[in-house]
Structure 1
Amino acid sequence: MPGAVHCQSPWVRTTTIRSVLVALLGVVVLAAPMPAVAHATGYESLLDITPANAAAESIGGLDPRLPTDSAALGAALASARADGVAATRYAALLQQYWLARGSEASGIDLAAWDPNAGLLANAAVVDRVYENYGRYQLQRAELYWSGMAGLAGGSFAAGFWDLDLGRTVLGVDAVHALGNAVASTVGGLPGEAMTLLPPDPRTLATVGPAMTAEDMDWYQKRLLMMQKHIYFDMVPMHEAYLNEGRAAVEEMAASGLLDENAEIAWNGIFSGTPAGNVDALFRMASREQNQIIADQWDVTAAARDGVGRALTYATTLAAQPSVPGSRAPGKVAPMSVTGDANGSHYRLRTPLPAFNWADREPRWQYIVSDIASSYQRLAEGRPGELRALLAIPFRDFVESQRVLRRVPDLARDMSTGWELSPAQP
């Protein structure tokens, strides 16, 4: 009633106080982070990342949002796994983790790795990349691709030093010498033969003698980018397998990092059979050349008004793969062309390679028919020789592969072995 005073019983007051306390405690509990949420805050910013540096053309790892320290990456990865996060959401984190593990094992500072800094700044990195590939093969005999990459890297790294401009201009002089050799020979051909000569040797003959130090520096950096890109792709899966076996590779597949071709390659390795190892060798080589760096070769060859094309052809011409049994491109596929000139049918034979390494199809055919096949024979038939080669200190191995030592002979060879004759009907 109005004006009446109502007194609550002690029981009512106690119940009310208890209700308020429960409500307050509920607010506190809701406001306080639950263990699962606290767990998530350590890695949620590392999920669903599309790597900004996937092509490895910039400094650092896959993406600046990802740590480069394997301990930090591993902790975040463990939390994501424990919370049941889908592997597809932590794919970049997973790749960066194994990339960091491989880089630390190789002695490479992932955060500081910058292909745009040039060769001198990356000299140790170049060597350690290939030493690491050899490490995989030495520790696990079934990893054929990594062994081939380690051996082939000897001639590739030698090419870096032959192109080095920080210490010497001999890299430029070498291209000048090759360009002049081709130019002098081409200039001595009958006029009708000029129309038969494909574009690449003509470009080398005209652009090569005028090559500059800046051109060579640019080309070196392009090669350094491609080397890093292959490392970014191949090292995580190999490092995962080396440390945690099949389950780690299957996690990468579940995350979407491996396509069907790569999964088949690894299943071949898991089979424990020689045939599986060989199939993986060719599939991984295809992934490397036809998927990972194919676009970068296209861009490199098309750049700088003929300079890219001239340099990719010059390095094809000078190449001598360091896998025992493999042959130079000009030996595997010498240039021989036929065509009509001045009303007559001619055949022009040359000592030049009939393809440019930058071109996808012939590059792959050369790898399949020569380099990878030679490595297969070495791994299967002469494993002791293979292990001995991989055990050679890499810098010593590189010095034995220097193309620069062969430039005078190459230039002489480019001036001989040309033949123009009427083609048989």
Structure 2
Amino acid sequence: MTHLSTARTIGTTDRPSAGGRSGGSDRPGLMNRLGSAGHRARSFARVVGLFACLVVGFTTIPAAHAAPAYEAYLDLPTINGDGGAGGGLNPVVPLDESALRAALDEARADEVAPQRYATLLHQYWLVVSTRNAAIDLATWNPARGVRANQNTFNLVYVNYFRLANQHPEFWWAGLAGIAGGSFASGFFDLGDIGGVLDVPGIHQLGNAVADLLRATPEELVRKVPADIRLLATEGARLSVEDLAWYQTRLMIMQKHIFTDLVPMHEAYVALGMAGIDEMYAAGVIDADIRAAWQLIDSHTPGGYEDALVRMTDREQNRVIADQWDATSAGRGTIGRILTYMSTVVGKPALPGVLAPGVFAPATVRADVAGRTVALRTPLPDFNWADRDTRWTYITGDLVPRHVDMERNPPFAAAWLGESFWNKLARGRVIQRIPELIADMTTQWRIGE
């Protein structure tokens, strides 16, 4: 009511009197105009004030930042560390070296705990490793078969020799190239699958064992290692599919070893112990292998030798031990036959090293017609797939002979510097078949 009364009073006072001249005769129009202008001014001021508040508000709200590049790669598991599939360790993590490096540098700068970016870190050094080895990690897939992987299979060993020649303190890399290259030689023979199955020498080897067993007293045959009896009685059942399966198993183990051990070598080359310590903090390597690198970093022959044993132990007894078990047990008795055949023909091309059948020949004794009779064979008394006996051979002959070579630097440089392809050609199994058959006929001995 007050508001309305005031409005009417203002209206009455401002109305001009009839017939008289008033000094305020223009006042009503002026006031109306001023009132209207004032209203507009106040409205404009309110709009300006609101706009100013909005501007100030927007400038005080923090700008949204893009998520760090490494965020998508934190806490990821390693799902392809065993080499069974193509590509890297986890498909979420890229294979582009520059992208990996940028994400890794950012994670380090933000002081992210290394164990959270372990897979990113491992994959970065794996990509560096394959780049230096001229291997295409994206297409390195053992499941694709021999033809697709044959070049990569050999480049792995070429790279071991590259590391050993460029860094003489890397004794394990030298041993991996020499001993692994011996497996590569056999792999080449298996690569021509159809031809190998038709080679008379392969058949003669199995037939020679079978003939010798038939001429051996039953009491001794029963004590002959089962692998020798399988070679004689079941070897003829080997098929193209069996050999292809075995080749794939070898290629998986080869990639597993490379994936585990080569990246730490590249990290040490690039960053020294700082690179190794980061891998240890991330959980990529354990305390034992970190100690191996500390021994290498001591730059003493004794340290190099100790590191060689530790790295070889990691390779054989942790990285691929389960895979050898699975291979040996695969495809019924075929797995045992194939792994034993690898043992028979697998003489590492290392100066002074003994063939497995010479290092540990199968010798048995039995009571035959009331007297003790012994059988000594030129065949190994162990299967390379079996952990304990494999390790006995490695530490009893292979590693000591490699140490002997490495402790003679001029000789080591000459031997390791020889072309891998020359080593490969000398180790071809086909070339050793006549020697093996000769051993069968001259060293299979029965006596007291």
Per the TM superposition, whether the score is higher than 0.5 is yes
Q: Which of 348, 351, 357 lines up with 1:321 in the alignment?
A: 348
1:352 and 2:364 matched: no
Within 2, Cα distance between the matches of 1:342 and 1:67?
71
| Contact 1:329 1:353 (C-alpha < 8 Å) held by counterparts | yes
1:137 and 2:143 matched: no
Cα 1:39–1:385 shift into 2, 3 Å: farther
The Cα shift of 1:415 comes to 3.4
Alignment correspondent of 1:24: 58
| Contact 1:136 1:146 (C-alpha < 8 Å) held by counterparts | yes
Pair member with larger Rg: 2
| Contact 1:338 1:345 (C-alpha < 8 Å) held by counterparts | yes
Q: Which runs of 5+ in 2 are unaligned?
A: 8-38
1:387 and 2:413 matched: yes
Within 2, Cα distance between the matches of 1:2 and 1:414?
128
Within 1, Cα distance between the matches of 2:419 and 2:130?
19
Moved more, 229-238 or 198-207: 198-207
Alignment correspondent of 2:317: 290
Within 2, Cα distance between the matches of 1:248 and 1:3?
83
TM-score (norm 2): 0.86
Q: Could you list the per-position Cα deviations for residues 215-246 of structure 1 after superposition, in whole angstroms to 9, with x for gaps in the alignment?
A: 11111111111111100011100011112212
Alignment correspondent of 1:81: 108
The Cα shift of 1:343 comes to 7.0
Secondary structure of the residue aligned to 2:272 is helix
1:398 and 2:429 matched: no
The Cα shift of 1:12 comes to 8.8
The Cα shift of 1:137 comes to 1.4
Alignment correspondent of 2:221: 194
The Cα shift of 1:171 comes to 7.8
Give, as a single letter, the amino acid of the residue that structure 1 aligns with 2:64. Answer: P
The Cα shift of 1:416 comes to 3.4
| Contact 2:196 2:202 (C-alpha < 8 Å) held by counterparts | no
Cα 1:290–1:227 shift into 2, 3 Å: same
The Cα shift of 1:172 comes to 7.0
Secondary structure of the residue aligned to 1:48 is coil
| Contact 2:88 2:95 (C-alpha < 8 Å) held by counterparts | yes
Within 1, Cα distance between the matches of 2:244 and 2:3?
97
Q: Which of 95, 108, 112 lines up with 1:68 in the alignment?
A: 95
Cα 1:172–1:95 shift into 2, 3 Å: farther
Within 1, Cα distance between the matches of 2:2 and 2:394?
101
| Contact 1:266 1:280 (C-alpha < 8 Å) held by counterparts | yes
Map 1:107-186 → 2, pairs under 5 A = 107-165=134-192, 168-170=195-197, 175-186=202-213
Q: Which runs of 5+ in 1 are unaligned?
A: none
Cα 1:23–1:320 shift into 2, 3 Å: same
Cα 1:173–1:303 shift into 2, 3 Å: farther
The Cα shift of 1:167 comes to 6.7
Within 2, Cα distance between the matches of 1:383 and 1:251?
31
The Cα shift of 1:390 comes to 2.2
Within 1, Cα distance between the matches of 2:76 and 2:372?
59
Within 1, Cα distance between the matches of 2:422 and 2:72?
45
Map 1:201-350 → 2, pairs under 5 A = 201-340=228-367, 345-350=372-377
Secondary structure of the residue aligned to 1:420 is strand
1:377 and 2:404 matched: yes
Give, as a single letter, the amino acid of the residue that structure 2 aligns with 1:118. Answer: G
| Contact 2:189 2:196 (C-alpha < 8 Å) held by counterparts | no
| Contact 1:193 1:420 (C-alpha < 8 Å) held by counterparts | no
Within 2, Cα distance between the matches of 1:3 and 1:342?
137
Give, as a single letter, the amino acid of the residue that structure 1 aligns with 2:96. Answer: D
The Cα shift of 1:130 comes to 1.0
| Contact 1:268 1:280 (C-alpha < 8 Å) held by counterparts | yes
The Cα shift of 1:62 comes to 1.5
Secondary structure of the residue aligned to 2:191 is coil
Task: Name the Cα RMSD after superposition.
Answer: 2.5
Give, as a single letter, the amino acid of the residue that structure 1 aligns with 2:55. Answer: L
Q: Could you list the per-position Cα deviations for residues 32-60 of structure 1 after superposition, in whole angstroms to 9, with x for gaps in the alignment?
A: 423xxx251x2211121112111001111
Percent of residue pairs bearing the same amino acid type? 45
| Contact 1:178 1:314 (C-alpha < 8 Å) held by counterparts | no
Within 2, Cα distance between the matches of 1:309 and 1:342?
33
The Cα shift of 1:267 comes to 1.1
Cα 1:141–1:92 shift into 2, 3 Å: same
Secondary structure of the residue aligned to 2:435 is helix
Cα 1:203–1:172 shift into 2, 3 Å: farther
Within 2, Cα distance between the matches of 1:151 and 1:183?
32
Moved more, 297-306 or 205-214: 205-214
Secondary structure of the residue aligned to 1:168 is helix
The Cα shift of 1:414 comes to 2.2
Cα 1:173–1:96 shift into 2, 3 Å: farther
Secondary structure of the residue aligned to 1:347 is strand
The Cα shift of 1:321 comes to 0.6
Cα 1:391–1:52 shift into 2, 3 Å: same
Within 2, Cα distance between the matches of 1:291 and 1:276?
21
The Cα shift of 1:134 comes to 1.2
| Contact 2:128 2:266 (C-alpha < 8 Å) held by counterparts | yes
- Residues matched between the structures, number: 413
Secondary structure of the residue aligned to 1:348 is strand
Within 1, Cα distance between the matches of 2:72 and 2:87?
18
Moved more, 385-394 or 368-377: 385-394
Cα 1:293–1:397 shift into 2, 3 Å: same
Within 2, Cα distance between the matches of 1:124 and 1:414?
34
Cα 1:419–1:167 shift into 2, 3 Å: closer
The Cα shift of 1:273 comes to 1.4
